[in-house]
Amino acid sequence: MGWLRHLRAVDTDFGAISRHLQRCAPLRAGELDRFLENLEPRHVPKRTALLRAGEVCDWEAYVNSGCVRSYFLDEKGHDVTLQFALEDWWVSDLASFTEGSPSRMSIETLEDSELLLIRREQKESLFAEVPALERVFRILVQRNLAALQDRFFATVAQPAPERYAEFLRRHPSLPARVPQHMIASYLGITPEFLSKLRGRIAGKG
């Protein structure tokens, strides 16, 4: 929890998140401000655990800059990464956040990151105060769900080489930013096999 308290933000830029929210559903200036006031800006260094499996996740984080990863650990200790959250994405363990239950996933920064946190309590009371926010977050969750359905389908229906090609199309910048074995764990394959895939492609081209 240390990382939540140590660092004081200076010079926080709320431009990106404001546009992000407004793109979902219109908010009056006052409503938007009420939300922004309740955000806690945090600078978090590279490779810091934000949430460890078993803890309760009482925040959602908007990534203003940097890169964050959420992942599960299977019984053999291999990780399955659920999401890479880059600039302009949210990250959280939603199940733990809403139920108050211990989380099954872990979350960590991969780069020095600037996050904007909203706490569960604040979010609840803001919803009561500003119903339009309820709409914004409903829409965000819906998008999330649609995206995960796509991903699920791809993971079950497509072979690994296709999945990797698709991944490169959609996230061309990621391979330069995150270690390869994490991409492998996102694709649901071993690091060794991803390396072989890349070898094959390079050989061909």
Partner DNA sequence: CCGTTTTCTTGTTCCAGTTCAATGCCCGCC
Partner DNA sequence: GGCGGGCATTGAACTGGAACAAGAAAACGG
* CB of 28 or CB of 46, closer to a copy of itself: 28
Contacts of 201 (CB under 8 A, 6+ apart): none
The binder of 145, among DNA, a copy of itself, none, by C-beta within 5 to 8 A per type, is: a copy of itself
Site string for a copy of itself, 79-118 (x = CB under 8 A): -x-x-----------xx--xx----xx-------------
Cβ-count burial 90-114 (b if 16+ within 10 Å, e if not): bbbbbebbeeeeebebbbbbbbebb
Per CB under 8 A, 193 contacts a copy of itself? no
* CB of 78 or CB of 181, closer to a copy of itself: 78
The binder of 155, among a copy of itself, DNA, none, by C-beta within 5 to 8 A per type, is: a copy of itself
CA 171 to CA 177: how far, in whole Å?
A: 11
Q: Which of 151, 174, 175, 191 binds a copy of itself (CB under 8 A)?
A: 151
Contacts of 58 (CB under 8 A, 6+ apart): 97, 100, 119, 120, 121
Residues that bind DNA (CB under 7 A): 76, 78, 159-161, 179-181, 188-196, 198-199
Contact indicator for 67, 178 with CB cutoff of 8 Å? yes
The binder of 193, among DNA, a copy of itself, none, by C-beta within 5 to 8 A per type, is: DNA
CB of 50 to a copy of itself, least distance (A): 17
Contact indicator for 75, 69 with CB cutoff of 8 Å? no
CA distances from 146 to 141, 150, 152, 155 (A): 9, 6, 10, 14
Residues that bind a copy of itself (CB under 8 A): 72, 74-75, 78, 80, 82, 94-95, 98-99, 104-105, 127, 131, 134-135, 137-139, 141-146, 148-153, 155-158, 188
